[in-house]
Amino acid sequence: MTHVTLTINGEAHQAEVEPRLLLVHFIREVANLTGTHIGCDTTSCGACTVLINGTPAKSCTLLAVQVNGAEIQTVEGLEQNGQLHPIQQGFFEEHGLQCGFCTPGMMLVGKALLEQNPNPSEAEIRRAISGNLCRCTGYVNIVKAIDSAGKKMREPAATGAPTA
């Protein structure tokens, strides 16, 4: 057993874990944040994508101990003070999701892209999400969603947030 401390969405989570525990299982089962999903066992689908110190990573292929001490952001950390992140608004408004299973990973990749490249071309968006599989949407509206989020982030205007 190894002691692991991770800061997830700004909150510290500590646990004694087996060294073999995957990061995605730490997030889902130790921290109980089930928005991060699992879709494969070969690092192919990206459903498990989280941001580690701001960079997208597939949490199914990392051990929790490998990222001990890191800052992790998951889908649950996107909304701040009741205000949806522009990437969430983009997916909602552009119908960028259907079953929603790939969506957390897609949004985090989109957010990381926009932080690095605030005005990406369609080709750049497609390249950024090329490690994330979506079986439902055909990607067209995901590309639009990220593009629309980019516009919102460039000119922050008040937009209505959908409520549960």
15 binds, among another protein, ligand FES, none (CB under 5 to 8 A by kind): none
The distance of closest approach from Cβ of residue 97 to another protein in the complex, given in angstroms and rounded to an integer, is 6
User: Of residues 52-111, which lie at the interface with ligand FES (CB under 6 A)?
Assistant: 58, 60, 97-103
| Cβ atoms of residues 51 and 75 within 8 Å | no
Give the 3-state secondary structure percentages of the chain, helix then strand then coil, rounded to 5.
40, 20, 45
> Applying CB under 8 A, which residues contact another protein?
18, 20-21, 25, 28-29, 32-42, 44-45, 47, 74-76, 78-79, 84, 88, 91-93, 95, 97-104, 107, 122, 125-127, 129-143, 162-164
Angstrom distances, CA of residue 143 to CA of 23, 41, 61, 91: 28, 26, 26, 9
Q: What is the CA radius of gyration of the chain?
A: 16
Would you say 136 or 153 has its CB closer to ligand FES?
136
Binding pattern for the stretch 112-131 against ligand FES, x by CB under 6 A and - elsewhere: --------------------
Would you say 99 or 140 has its CB closer to ligand FES?
99
